[in-house]
C-alpha cells in the first residue's frame, strides 16, 4: 500500500513539474539555511553544558551600585577562594582561574602554550576527563603541572609524559615543573580553555598580594552543594562582604551609592556557568550576546516558515484543480484516510527530496558560511545524533503541517458538491491571503532590519573618535617579550626611515587588532570626598603625536622630566571635570593601593578609547616603567603606508624572532569594533534576500495557478475589448492589496524591534519614516515585477486558444 502511494505520488509530482520544482527549490533553500543557522545556534547554546554539574557551578562577580550607575566586575583577589571555602560549608568546591600563558622548555626546545593558573579543585569541579594521573592529587604540589593531550603530543611525542620535568618561563623566575597528569583537550564549547594548569601560587605577584583584598586579577568558580540554591547563597554572602570590604562600602556610601538601592551598594553575586559564554556585561562586549544566537534561530525559523507557507499555498491552490479527481476517487469507494495518505505521501516525497538537496547545499556552502559569519562549523556537527534528531524533527514537523493540512482539507471535501461543481472556495482563499500577508510581513521586517543595522554601522564609523586613526599601525607585543625594550629597539632601527613619523607604545590597543586582544584598566579613588573612576592607560613618549591628539594645556611626556615615568599623568577633560577643576595642569590627586600622589602635567580632549556602544569615559595616561607595553603604535606618512608596513614586517623578526608579526592599521582595528553588527547585517541581508526570493517564488506560483484557473475569464475579457494593461491590473490589484496590508503591519513591528536593538548603543541613529517606507516600496516593486511577469504572459495569450474548448 505504501509503495503504491509513493509510486502514484511520484507520478503526480512529475506531471506537475513547475509546481514540484518551486516546492522543492523553496524547501531545499529553507532546509539548507535552517540547518546551518540551527547548528550554529545549537553550538552556541551548548556552551559549558558538557559539565556534569553545570547547574551548580557559578562565577562570582562584584555588583557595585555606584553614584554614576551600576558596575559589575569579575576580577577577584587572591584571598577570596581560601576564605570562602573556610567560611561557607555550602560551597562544595572552589577554584581560582587565570588565563595566563607561558613558554615551556623541554630538551632545548621551547613551546609557547596557554599555561593557566588554577587550584586543585579545577580538575574535579569541571568535567575535564583525566587520561593519565589522578585528578584529586595531580595539582597538590606547587611544582605540579597537568597538560592537555595535544600538549603532551607536541612536547613528548610518543613518550610517556608522567614524571617528566619541564621548565616553565614567564611566571617570574623560570621554574621546573613535574608532569603529574594528562587531561583531554578542552571541549570546543567550553568557556575554560587551556594547554596546561599550574598552581595559582606560582604567579609572580602572589607572595606580595596573597592577603590583599583590593587586587582583583583572576576569575573564581564555585560549585554549591546540591541542597543550596543561588539566591540563598547570595544572601549568605552579604555579611561576608560587610566584613571584608568595609572600606569599599564606606567609600561608596560617602558618594551617595546607597541612595538608589539600600544595603546593596556593594555585593558579591553568582553568575550561572551556563550564562558565562553569553555575558557581554562582565566581558566588555567580547562574548557573543545571547540575542545574536536567538536571532540566528529566529531567522532560521522564519525562512523555514516562508517555505512552508509556499508549500501550503501551492497545495491549496492546486487542490481546486484536483477536486474532480478527489470526487471521483471518493465515489469509487476511497476512504478519507486513504485519500489523506495518498495526498500526504506526495507532500512527504517532496519534503524528502528537498531535505536531501538541502543537506547537500548545506555541506557545499559550509566553508563560505564559516567565512561569512566567522564560525567554525564542521561536518562533525552534522554527524552528531542530537543534530540529526533536530533535523529529522524539523523535517517531520514541516512535512506533517505543510503537507498534512492541504491533504486533510482535500480529503474531507464533499463528494456530491465536488462532482456537481457546488463547492465554495472562500475559506482556502482567505487562508491563502493570510499566509501571503504573513510571508511579506516577515520579508519587510527583515529588509527594514538590514537597512537600520547598515545605517547604524555607517553612523558609528563616521563618528569622530577624538584621534586620527589613519596612517597608524598597531603591532601587538607578545607576553614573552619586554614591551619597553622592543619599543626602544624598533625606534632605533627606524630612526632614519623617512616614512616613519613617530613611534609610541601602550598597554591597551586602540580598536580590535589581529591578535584579538582586549584590555581595560580602571582605577577608582576618593578625591575631596567624591569618588572618581578613570580608565588608567600605560603609554610611552610620543603617544599624543602618534595618535594626533592635541594638547589643550600643559605638555606631553618628555624624557627630560624624570618624574614623568614615576608620578606624572595626562588627563582628558572628562577626568578634569571629575576632579572638579577647569585647568587641572599642576594639580595633584592620590590614587592606588599605596595612595601614590600624582601630578597632572597635561590636559587633552576626550577621545574614544573603546567602541561607541558606550559613552565617553574619563582617561588618565601614565608612564610607570614597571607596567609593560603591549602594543607599539607607528605613525607613517600617507605616501609611505605600504612600504612602511613592509619595512615593519622585515624588521620585526629581528626584534622578536619567535613571534608572528600581527601589525594592522588602526582604522581597520576600529572597524573591527563592530564585527558583531556587521555579521548581524549580513545575517539580516541574506535572510531578507532569501525571504523575499521565497515569497516571490510562492507568489509567482500562486499567480500562475490563478491565471490558469481564470484563463477563460481573461479570454472573454479580451474578446470584449479589454487591453493587456487592464488584464494585468485586474490580476495584480488583489495581490497589491495584500502587500500594502503586509507593510502596514510590518512597519511598527520593525520599528519597535530595531528601536530595542539600538538602545544598546550610546550613540545611535533615529529610525526615520523613509526607511520604513523604502523597505516597503522595495518589497512592493519586487513582488509586482514577479506578478507582472506571469500576468503579462497570461494577458497576451490569444483568446481563441483560451476559449476553444468551449
Surface-to-core class of residue 384, CB atoms within 10 Å of its CB (0-12 exposed, 13-18 middle, 19+ buried): middle
Surface-to-core class of residue 558, CB atoms within 10 Å of its CB (0-12 exposed, 13-18 middle, 19+ buried): exposed
Phi/psi at 524 (nearest 5 deg)?
Answer: -115, 140
The contacts of residue 444 (CB under 8 Å, 6+ apart) are 742, 743, 746, 747, 750, 775, 776, 779
The three cell numbers locating residue 421 = 461543481
| H or E element in which residue 241 lies | helix 230-244
Question: How does strand 165-168 pair with strand 102-106?
Answer: antiparallel
The three cell numbers locating residue 563 = 618624574
| H or E element in which residue 267 lies | strand 266-272
The three cell numbers locating residue 691 = 525571504
Which DSSP string corresponds to 633-665? EEEE-GGGHHHHHHHHHHHHHHH-TTS----EE
How far apart (Å, rounded) are the C-alpha atoms in residues 94 and 593? 27
User: Can you list the pairs that 354-358 forms with residues at least 24 positions away whose Cβ atoms lie under 8 Å?
Assistant: 354/23, 354/24, 354/26, 354/27, 354/28, 354/30, 354/31, 355/27, 355/31, 355/391, 355/395, 357/24, 357/28, 357/31, 357/32, 358/27, 358/28, 358/29, 358/30, 358/31, 358/32, 358/34, 358/35
pLDDT in the model for residue 230 = 92
Cell 624624570 maps to which residue? Answer: 562
Phi/psi at 197 (nearest 5 deg)?
Answer: -125, 135
The contacts of residue 301 (CB under 8 Å, 6+ apart) are 34
The three cell numbers locating residue 162 = 608522567
The mean pLDDT values, 10 residues at a time, for the chain of 806 residues are 56 65 82 84 85 92 73 86 93 92 86 91 93 91 94 92 90 90 91 93 86 84 93 91 79 54 73 84 58 81 83 67 58 59 71 86 85 74 74 76 65 54 51 81 88 88 87 84 85 88 89 76 78 87 91 90 88 91 88 80 90 85 84 90 88 82 87 79 82 80 69 69 73 82 92 87 86 87 79 65 56
Reference 472, options 672, 674, 631, 661; nearest CA is 631
pLDDT in the model for residue 433 = 79
Q: Which residues make beta-bridge pairs with 600?
A: 569
Reference 730, options 791, 798, 801; nearest CA is 791
| H or E element in which residue 29 lies | helix 17-45
Give 184's Cβ-side CA count (13 Å radius). Answer: 9
How much is the mean pLDDT over the chain? 81
Cell 573603546 maps to which residue? Answer: 610
pLDDT in the model for residue 386 = 74
pLDDT in tens, 598-618: 999 999 999 988 888 778 889
| In contact, 519 and 675? CB cutoff 8 Å | no
Phi/psi at 637 (nearest 5 deg)?
Answer: -75, 150
Q: Which residues make beta-bridge pairs with 145?
A: 179
pLDDT in tens, 54-67: 999 999 998 877 65
Reference 499, options 635, 638, 640; nearest CA is 640
Phi/psi at 36 (nearest 5 deg)?
Answer: -65, -45
Give 513's Cβ-side CA count (13 Å radius). Answer: 24
Of the chain, the end-to-end C-alpha distance in Å amounts to 39
Helix, strand and coil content of the chain, in percent to the nearest 5, comes to 50, 15, 30
How many other β-carbons are positioned within 10 Å of the β-carbon of residue 263? Answer: 11
Q: Which residues make beta-bridge pairs with 165?
A: 178
pLDDT in the model for residue 194 = 93
Which DSSP string corresponds to 658-718? TS----EEHHHHHHGGGHHHHHHHHHHHHHHHHHHHHHHHHHHHHHHHHHHHTHHHHHHHH
pLDDT in the model for residue 426 = 41
**Using only C-alpha atoms, what is the Rg of the chain?**
34
pLDDT in the model for residue 130 = 93
How far apart (Å, rounded) are the C-alpha atoms in residues 121 and 223? 10
Domain boundaries, the chain: 479-658
How many other β-carbons are positioned within 10 Å of the β-carbon of residue 113? Answer: 21
Reference 638, options 500, 544, 510, 509; nearest CA is 500
Q: Where are the beta strands (DSSP E) in 29-108?
A: 57-66, 69-73, 91-98, 102-106
pLDDT in the model for residue 90 = 93
How far apart (Å, rounded) are the C-alpha atoms in residues 703 and 317? 10
Amino acid at each position: 500500500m505504501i509503495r503504491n502511494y509513493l509510486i502514484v505520488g511520484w507520478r503526480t509530482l512529475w506531471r506537475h513539474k513547475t509546481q514540484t520544482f518551486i516546492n522543492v527549490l523553496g524547501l531545499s533553500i529553507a532546509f539548507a539555511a535552517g540547518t546551518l543557522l540551527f547548528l550554529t545556534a545549537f553550538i552556541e547554546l551548548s556552551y559549558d553544558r558538557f559539565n556534569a554539574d553545570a547547574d551548580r557551578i557559578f562565577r562570582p562577580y562584584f555588583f557595585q551600585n555606584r553614584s554614576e550607575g551600576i558596575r559589575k566586575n569579575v576580577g577577584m583577589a587572591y584571598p577570596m577562594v581560601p576564605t570562602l571555602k573556610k567560611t561557607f560549608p555550602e560551597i562544595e568546591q572552589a577554584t581560582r582561574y587565570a588565563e595566563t600563558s607561558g613558554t615551556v622548555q623541554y630538551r632545548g626546545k621551547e613551546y609557547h602554550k596557554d599555561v593557566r593558573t588554577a587550584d586543585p579543585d579545577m580538575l574535579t569541579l569541571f568535567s575535564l576527563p583525566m587520561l593519565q594521573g589522578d585528578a584529586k592529587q595531580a595539582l597538590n604540589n606547587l611544582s605540579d603541572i597537568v597538560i592537555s593531550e595535544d600538549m603532551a603530543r607536541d612536547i613528548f611525542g610518543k613518550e610517556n609524559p608522567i614524571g617528566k620535568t619541564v621548565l616553565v618561563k614567564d611566571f617570574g623566575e623560570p621554574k621546573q615543573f613535574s608532569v603529574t597528569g594528562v587531561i583531554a583537550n578542552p571541549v570546543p564549547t567550553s568557556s575554560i580553555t587551556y594547554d596546561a594548569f599550574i598552581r595559582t601560587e606560582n604567579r609572580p605577584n602572589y607572595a606580595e598580594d596573597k592577603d590583599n583584598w583590593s587586587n582583583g586579577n583572576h576569575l573564581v568558580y564555585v560549585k554549591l552543594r546540591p541542597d543550596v540554591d543561588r539566591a540563598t547563597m547570595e544572601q549568605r554572602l552579604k555579611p561576608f562582604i560587610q566584613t571584608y570590604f568595609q572600606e569599599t562600602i564606606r567609600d561608596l556610601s560617602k558618594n551617595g551609592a546607597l541612595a538608589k538601592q539600600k544595603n546593596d551598594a556593594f555585593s558579591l553575586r553568582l553568575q550561572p556557568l551556563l550564562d558565562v559564554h553569553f555575558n557581554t556585561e562582565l566581558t566588555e562586549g567580547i562574548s557573543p550576546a545571547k540575542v545574536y544566537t536567538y536571532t540566528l534561530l529566529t531567522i532560521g525559523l522564519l525562512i523555514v516558515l516562508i517555505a512552508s507557507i509556499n508549500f501550503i499555498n501551492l497545495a491549496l491552490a492546486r487542490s481546486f484543480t484536483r477536486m474532480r479527481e478527489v470526487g471521483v476517487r471518493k465515489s469509487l469507494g476511497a476512504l478519507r484516510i486513504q485519500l489523506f495518505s495518498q495526498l500526504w505521501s506526495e507532500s512527504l516525497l517532496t519534503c524528502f527530496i528537498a531535505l536531501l538537496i538541502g543537506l547537500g547545499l548545506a555541506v557545499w556552502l559550509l566553508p563560505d558560511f564559516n567565512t561569512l559569519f566567522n564560525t567554525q562549523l564542521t561536518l562533525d556537527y552534522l554527524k552528531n545524533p542530537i543534530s540529526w534528531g533536530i533535523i529529522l524533527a524539523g523535517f517531520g514537523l514541516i512535512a506533517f503541517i505543510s503537507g498534512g493540512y492541504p491533504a486533510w482539507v482535500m480529503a474531507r471535501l464533499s463528494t456530491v458538491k465536488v462532482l456537481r461543481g457546488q463547492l465554495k472556495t472562500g475559506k482556502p482563499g482567505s487562508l491563502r491571503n493570510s499566509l501571503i500577508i504573513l510571508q511579506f510581513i516577515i520579508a519587510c521586517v527583515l529588509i527594514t532590519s538590514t537597512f537600520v543595522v547598515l545605517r547604524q554601522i555607517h553612523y558609528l564609523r563616521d563618528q569622530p573618535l577624538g584621534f586620527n586613526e589613519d596612517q597608524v599601525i598597531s603591532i601587538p607585543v607578545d607576553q614573552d617579550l619586554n614591551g619597553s625594550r622592543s619599543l626602544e629597539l624598533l625606534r632605533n632601527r627606524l630612526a632614519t626611515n623617512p616614512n616613519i613619523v613617530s613611534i609610541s607604545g601602550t598597554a591597551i590597543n586602540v580598536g580590535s587588532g589581529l591578535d584579538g586582544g582586549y584590555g581595560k584598566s580602571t582605577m577608582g579613588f576618593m578625591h575631596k570626598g567624591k569618588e572618581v573612576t578613570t580608565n588608567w592607560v600605560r603609554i610611552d613618549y610620543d603617544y599624543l603625536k602618534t595618535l594626533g591628539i592635541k594638547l589643550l594645556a600643559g605638555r606631553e611626556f618628555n624624557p627630560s622630566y624624570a618624574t614623568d615615568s614615576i608620578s606624572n599623568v595626562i588627563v582628558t577633560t572628562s577626568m578634569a571635570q571629575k576632579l572638579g577643576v577647569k585647568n587641572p595642569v599642576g594639580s595633584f590627586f592620590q590614587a592606588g593601593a599605596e595612595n601614590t600622589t600624582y601630578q597632572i602635567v597635561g590636559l587633552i580632549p576626550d577621545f574614544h578609547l573603546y567602541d561607541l556602544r558606550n559613552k565617553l569615559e574619563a582617561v588618565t595616561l601614565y608612564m610607570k616603567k614597571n607596567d609593560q607595553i603591549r602594543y607599539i603604535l607607528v605613525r607613517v606618512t600617507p605616501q609611505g603606508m605600504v612600504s612602511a608596513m613592509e619595512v615593519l614586517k622585515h624588521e620585526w623578526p629581528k626584534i622578536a624572532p619567535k613571534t608572528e608579526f600581527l601589525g594592522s592599521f588602526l582604522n581597520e582595528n576600529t572597524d573591527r569594533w563592530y564585527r558583531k553588527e556587521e555579521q548581524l547585517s549580513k545575517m539580516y541581508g541574506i535572510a531578507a534576500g532569501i525571504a523575499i526570493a521565497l515569497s516571490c517564488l510562492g507568489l509567482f506560483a500562486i499567480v500562475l495557478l490563478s491565471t490558469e484557473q481564470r484563463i477563460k475569464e481573461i479570454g472573454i475579457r479580451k474578446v470584449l475589448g479589454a487591453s493587456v494593461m487592464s488584464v494585468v491590473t485586474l490580476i495584480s490589484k488583489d495581490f497589491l492589496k495584500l502587500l500594502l496590508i503586509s507593510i502596514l503591519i510590518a512597519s511598527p513591528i520593525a520599528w519597535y524591534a530595531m528601536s530595542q536593538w539600538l538602545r544598546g548603543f550610546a550613540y545611535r541613529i533615529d529610525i526615520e519614516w523613509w526607511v520604513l517606507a523604502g523597505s516597503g516600496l522595495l518589497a512592493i516593486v519586487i513582488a509586482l515585477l514577479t506578478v507582472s511577469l506571469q500576468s503579462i504572459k497570461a494577458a497576451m495569450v490569444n483568446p481563441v486558444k483560451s476559449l476553444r474548448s468551449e
